[in-house]
Amino acid sequence: MRILLPPSEGKTAPSEGEPLDVSELAFPGLTKTRERLLDVLSRLTFPRALKYLDVGPGLLDEAQRNLTLRDAPAAPAHEIYTGVLYEHLGLGSLPGENVLIASALFGFLRPSDRIPAYRLSMGSTLPRIASLPALWRDPLRRAIPDEGLIVDMRSSSYTAAWKPKQATLVGVRAFVDGKTVSHMVKATRGDVARLLLSSPSTPETPEDVASLVRANGQSVELSGSGRSWSVDINL
């Protein structure tokens, strides 16, 4: 089993530490695309850069970090990403070898990969790069193993960059009174990821995933067939 996590928009910038070394990140086949994006971000001028990054003036300080990403202190990805899902997951206290974190800047990361805090979402449109999902599609297809059971917690913009075709894919959704509530979905996905990573037995099928969540006291419906499934949790 592998778990695919989204990044978080909010990030905690480390105050000290060695800078980014792109050559040490997982999946060396992604290095060329990573380097290209780092170069593009380092050349963005402000305040025009805010339009490219699709953020408001209130996030100017975060966006300006992009200018010095190669020299800024780096830390393990599980310490950089914050937000509701990561608060509920508590990834730093769990084994991370079965976890991949999606990133508009780095493609996919291991939780232990050391990165700086940055500002870039998969929906951004950069100079000479009209679509980040399209830019990443071929490099990710070549680099990321497409096999086994994959529990996918990513949002639609990140699934557009890489969607497995051979693996058995399980999505996780959450509903409150039949409606999707973004905050609750993120919290629930963090709880489910923690449950799966903490389990003494590794899930091997969609039924295993649903059973573990159900055994944790949740109301669960499993739907799908073949290689595409969804675990729906009613809160």
Report the relative pairing of strands 2-5 and 107-109 from DSSP bridges. unpaired
pTM of this prediction?
A: 0.95
Closest CA to 37 of 92, 93, 84, 104: 104
With the C-alpha atoms ordered 213, 214, 218, 221, is the resulting torsion angle positive or negative? positive
Site of tokens 């509701």: 84
CA angle 220, 222, 226 (to 5 degrees): 165
pLDDT at position 182: 82
pLDDT in tens, the chain (235 residues): 999 999 998 899 999 999 999 999 999 999 999 999 999 999 998 888 898 998 888 888 888 999 999 999 999 999 999 989 999 999 999 999 999 999 999 999 999 999 999 999 999 999 999 899 999 999 999 999 999 999 999 999 999 999 999 999 999 999 988 888 788 999 999 999 999 999 999 999 999 999 999 999 999 999 999 999 999 999 8
Q: Is 201 left (phi over 0), alpha (psi -120 to 50) or beta?
A: beta
| pLDDT value for 204 | 96
Q: Are 94 and 129 in contact (CB under 8 A)?
A: no
